[in-house]
Structure 1
Amino acid sequence: MDEVKALIDKEIEDLKDDIINTTVQLIKIRSVEDMPAPNMPFGKAINDALLTCENLCKNLGFETKNYDGYALEAVYGNQDEDVCVIGHLDVVPEGEGWSVPPYEGVVKDGKIFGRGAVDDKGPTVAALYGMYVLKKLAEEKKISLKRKLRFVFGTNEEGGSKCLQYYFERAKYPTVGFTPDADFPVIQGEKGFLVFEFAKDVEDTFEIEGGQRPNMVPDRCRFEGSFDVQKAKEIIAKKGLNDKAEVFEEAGKTIIVTKGVSAHGSLPFKGENAISYMFDILDELWTKEDEFRRFIDFYNTHIGFDVFGEKLSIGFEDEKSGKLVLNAGMIRKEKDKLILTINVRYPVDTSYDEIEKIVKEVVQNYNIEYRLVTNVPPLYFEADHFLIRTLLEVYREFTNDDTQPLVIGGGTYARWAKNVVAFGPNMPGDEEVAHQKDEYILIDRLMLCSKIYANAIYRLAKE
């Protein structure tokens, strides 16, 4: 085993430049979901990233199959059972406040900067080259594999994983595998993933817009209406929000813009919600007794700055996975309809039905409509499961870290594929940079991940 590990590690070190350059190449593609086109279900940019990986995999000697722009499959071997790695090429929008260009793949200070560097382009590249090394060693008869190797590139992880749903309607589920899109040492469980909307008929006397995705803490919210500018400034100053809000007039319109701090929707306590700042200001500024006033009261009473769902009476918690987490991710107005989008990550022992019943009871008092957008039930593997044990062993051999398997609020591809868990790239104590400005991955971490992933794939494939 030590001999094989040494072979793998040397091959990966020899590929360092390729790993870095491929990561940079993919970061340069702004693969944010856009308007669909034929064979480009999530837009041209995401498809460009998919085609880039298709060409790369062909050059590396894998057999490839493009699933109508939804996913790309790269395979080595013809055995019935397989080891499958699933990475995603789409990214969330860049947001504001970057100190480096978000789509240039800037390399400095031992890091690669850019949207997707850690979520999930860098780790996907690391795992792909790890798998390629095993293919190369198997072809050279230096190792033997009992399972074929399969790599799947997805294109819609950030937008609901419709790509994998499409793919697995046409392809077999893996025998065993992982997705490099969360944390080490290994993710044994994922909280339930829930997105719903609150919709309310309101007067068409204002405009409001904030947030980009349900699974991002909104870093900006804009309100346009008829109000006294001086009063707004006084309220903002009284609340200590001068650095979080600005008021101005533009083209005869009076506008407030609030600024927050973006963070991953599963970790809203690490961000600052610009929508919540806005409703805190509107609580005193909007004095009309109308339907929008009722919505303001609802927001501040039952959401506000609470990120655990306690104000909404859904503050569930269990020993396996901890507290429910809530993110008010987006707000928009469509003529006379106000729509607030909420993302909830709920504990593995909580049911969706419990949440729905309680939330509907709360909102009916405000004449607010509840709309389910998506619900993905929790995922959980016992600690002694073969996959959990194997990945944990490999991780500990490289790190000597005895951290126990985790249950996370983030949703990964593991939810949409059977016999798959999330595995890396973040390690205990890492700065949280996914979905944030100046996202980066350490080059040393990228290389370490590639070695860990290659050894993990080998361990799973030789059994």
Structure 2
Amino acid sequence: MTTIDWKKEVASRKDDLLNDLVELLKVKSEREDDKATADAPFGPGPKNALIHMLGYGERDGFTVKNVDNYAGHIEYGEGDETLGIFCHMDVVPAGDGWDTDPYQPVIKDNKIYARGSSDDKGPSVAAYYGLKIIKELGLPLSKKIRFVVGSDEESGWGDMDYYFQHEEKPDFGFSPDAEFPIINGEKGNVTVTLHFENTNDGDFELQSFDAGLRVNMVPGNATAVFKAAGDISLEELATAYTDFLNENGLAGELEAEGDLVKVDLIGKSAHGASPQSGVNAGTFLALFLDRYPFGGGAKSFLHTAATYVHVDHYGEKLGVAHTDPRMGQLTMNAGLLKFGEDFEDNYITLNFRYPTGVTADGLVEKITETVGADGAKVDREERDSAPHYVPMEDPLVETLLAVYEDHTGEKGYEQVIGGGTFGRLLERGVAYGAMFPGYTDTMHQANEFMSLDDLFNAAVIYADAIYRLAK
């Protein structure tokens, strides 16, 4: 039996791997619906990053297919079964608070900083190099390997919907888009939206309220503009706001713009699957404004956010809290809070990651009972990803854990997460790395980074894992 020194193989390609990653990270691949075309369904950035990644496969002599700039794949080997590896090139918006340009990668302290470095371009390139090593060594395989590249994972998964209308699903596989030792369970994922009338009939008039970039991100910034009437002076408002910020350890400012008052608040963005890791600027700002005499739909909007949504990471105030022994707690992220004439709708989005024992329709029913009397109308998105689980005794899970244990010396164990990965696209699909236990999670945050040691060690594990699964 041939023994392969996977660590040595990765070490000999470190410079090439890092150079490829740097060039890929320079592609600003945020979804931009206002720039979408038939040729660029999610905007130019995701298309360009998809083409860039597929270009590595063409350069290295793989069989490559681009499926109408929605998604594509890089293939190698032959066999009756297909191993799928699913990655994505799109990223969430960079947002504010970066120390460096998020699309000009910077290497410092043995880390690479850029949007997408850990989610998911860094892990994707590490997995790709695992496949590249197998090809360059000419190792014998009994299965086909398909490296699938998506471009809409951070939004609606429209890339995979389209891709699988044209391509068959692999038989089993993994996504390098989470943590080691393995993610063999993922909570359900659905977004519920609270709608409000665009009306004002109080002494204070809410002109606009804007917080959040995506449903799956904790809003890091919030801004509101309003008219203040009655006996409350600008000085009183400014003093009250300063006190509020100090009491809550927050930053922001309040200023007059003619007869309008503009107020900004800075929180902390985080991944929507872990809302407790962030500071929701939108709900904090609503909490401050809810003390004043707004009326109509504006009051309903602010009061709902402040009373039922603020710091309610587990749905307790909404009456939907639930814990499953295996999958853990339901979590909720208020990702978008929008009010005013600048928006087609006035709404708050609630992104739920829910365990077994909860249904999307059940969420809508209970939330309606809770907030309906306060003027909110409740509905949910059509897409609903049910909870997903692959048993520990499945050969896929057993093999991946064995590879992890062999290369780290650490015992593998199962994990269930709130984040949704492409691993759930397959009945026998899991997420596998590339983050190691104890890592600092900067996904969807400013100053996102990936440790270079983790990047190269993940490539070692991916190379061995792909080979064991496909040989």
The answer to whether the superposition gives a TM-score over 0.5 is yes
Cα shift at 1:337: 4.4
Matched, 1:40 2:27: no
- 2:415 match: 406
Please name the residue that 1:351 is paired with.
Answer: 359
Tell me, in whole angstroms, the C-alpha distance in 2 between the residues paired with 1:288 and 1:333: 13
Counterpart residue number, 2:227: 226
8 A contact 2:193–2:380 mirrored in 1: yes
Displacement after TM superposition at 1:173 (Å): 1.1
Letter matched to residue 213 of structure 1: R
Q: Which residue of 1 aligns with 2:312?
A: 306
The amino acid across from 2:398 in the alignment is R
TM-score, structure 2 normalization: 0.93
Cα 1:163–1:126 change in 2 (3 A) is same
Q: CA deviation at 1:448?
A: 0.5
Instruction: Write the deviation string for residues 83-127 of structure 1: whole angstroms up to 9, x where unpaired.
Output: 111110000011111112111111122111100000000100000
Whether the aligned pair in 2 keeps the contact of 1:348 and 1:380 (CA below 8 Å) is: no
Q: How does 1:261-340 map to 2 (within 5 A)?
A: 261-284=268-291, 286-335=292-341, 337-340=345-348
- The two structures have a TM-score, normalised by structure 1, of 0.95
What's the counterpart of residue 368 of structure 1?
376
SS at 1:249's partner residue?
strand
Q: Deviations over 1:301-360 (max 9, x none)?
A: 211111111000011111111111111101112538421111110113322232222112
Letter in 2 for 1:129: Y
Does structure 2 conserve the Cα–Cα contact (< 8 Å) formed by 1:323 and 1:346? yes
- Secondary structure of 2:134's counterpart equals helix
Superposed displacement of residue 251, structure 1 = 5.5
Query: In the alignment, which residue of structure 2 is the partner of 1:123?
Result: 123
Whether the 8 Å CA contact 1:23–1:122 is kept in 2: the answer is yes
Farther-moved stretch of structure 1 (418-427 vs 116-125): 418-427
Q: Which amino acid aligns with 1:250?
A: E
> Which residues of structure 2 form unaligned runs of 5+?
none
Inter-partner Cα distance in structure 2 for 1:43 and 1:190:
29
The SS at the match of 1:256 is strand
Cα distance in 2, alignment partners of residues 52 and 237 from structure 1: 48
Distance of 1:211 and 1:356 partners within structure 2: 22
Give the aligned partner of residue 109 of structure 1: 109
Distance in 2 (alpha carbons) for counterparts of 1:233 and 1:432:
35
Mapping 1:183-194, distance limit 5 Å: 183-194=179-190
Q: Which residue of 2 aligns with 1:237?
A: 242
> Is the 8 Å Cα contact of residues 198 and 339 (structure 2) preserved in structure 1?
no
Contact 2:227–2:259 (Cα < 8 Å) also in 1: no
Q: Supply the distance in 2 between the matched residues of 1:242 and 1:137 (Cα, whole angstroms).
A: 56
Task: Summarize the Cα distance change of 1:22–1:251 in structure 2 as closer, same or farther, 3 Å threshold.
Answer: farther
1:197 aligns with 2:193: yes
Please tell me the residue identity of whatever aligns with 1:361.
E
1:278–1:136 distance in 2 versus 1, CA, 3 Å: same
Question: Cα gap change, 1:289/1:55 in structure 2, threshold over 3 Å: closer, same or farther?
Answer: closer
CA distance in 2, matches of 1:334, 1:202: 7
Distance apart, 1:403 and its partner CA: 4.6
Instruction: Tell me the secondary structure at the aligned position of residue 144 of structure 1.
Output: coil
Indicate the residue corresponding to 1:55 in structure 2: 55
Query: Could you tell me which of 150, 153, 157 is aligned with 1:157?
Result: 153
Q: How far does residue 388 in structure 1 lie from its aligned partner after superposition?
A: 1.1
Shift of 1:259: 0.8
Does the Cα contact within 8 Å between 2:218 and 2:333 map onto a contact in 1? Answer: yes
Instruction: Quote the sequence identity (%).
Output: 35
The equivalent of 1:435 in structure 2 is 444
Instruction: After TM superposition, give the deviation of residue 447 of structure 1 in Å.
Output: 0.7
Q: What SS is found at the alignment partner of 1:19?
A: helix
Cα distance, 1:295 vs. partner? 2.9
Structure 1 distance, partners of 2:404, 2:58, is: 29
Per-residue deviation, residues 226-273 of structure 1 (Å, max 9, x unmatched): 124323223223332574221012355310111110000001111100
Counterpart contact for 2:171–2:426, Cα < 8 Å: no
CA contact (8 A) 1:29 1:103 kept: yes
* Structure 1 vs Structure 2 CA RMSD: 1.6
CA displacement 1:144-196 (0-9 Å, x = unmatched): 21101111110000012110111112111112211000111101100000112
Which stretch shifts more, 414-423 or 60-69?
A: 414-423
- Partner deviation per Cα, 1:377-416 (whole Å, 9 max, x = no partner): 1111111111111111111111122252100000111223
Moved more, 274-283 or 297-306: 297-306
Which amino acid is the alignment partner of residue 4 of structure 2?
K
* 3-state SS, counterpart of residue 290 of structure 2: helix
Q: Determine if contact 1:324/1:347 at 8 Å carries over to the other structure.
A: yes
Q: Contact 2:14–2:456 (CA<8 Å) still a contact in 1?
A: yes
Counterpart in the other structure of 1:29:
27
CA apart distance, 1:11: 2.2
Q: What letter matches 2:306 in structure 1? A: N
Distance 1:226 1:132, change over 3 A: same
Q: How many pairs does the alignment contain?
A: 455
**Residue 208 of structure 2 aligns with which residue?**
207
Match of 2:170 among 168, 174, 179: 174
Deviates more, 1:92-101 or 1:215-224: 92-101
Q: Which moved more, 1:303-312 or 1:224-233?
A: 224-233
CA contact (8 A) 1:114 1:439 kept: yes
Specify whether residues 255 and 241 from structure 1 end up closer, same or farther in structure 2 by C-alpha distance, changes over 3 A only: farther
Query: In 2, distance between residues paired with 1:460 and 1:130?
Result: 12
The residue aligned with 2:392 is 383
Out of 7, 11, 26, the position equivalent to 1:13 is 11
Per the alignment, residue 81 of structure 1 pairs with 81
**Secondary structure at 1:169 match in 2:** helix
Q: Which runs of 5+ in 1 are unaligned?
A: none
The aligned amino acid for 1:236 is Y
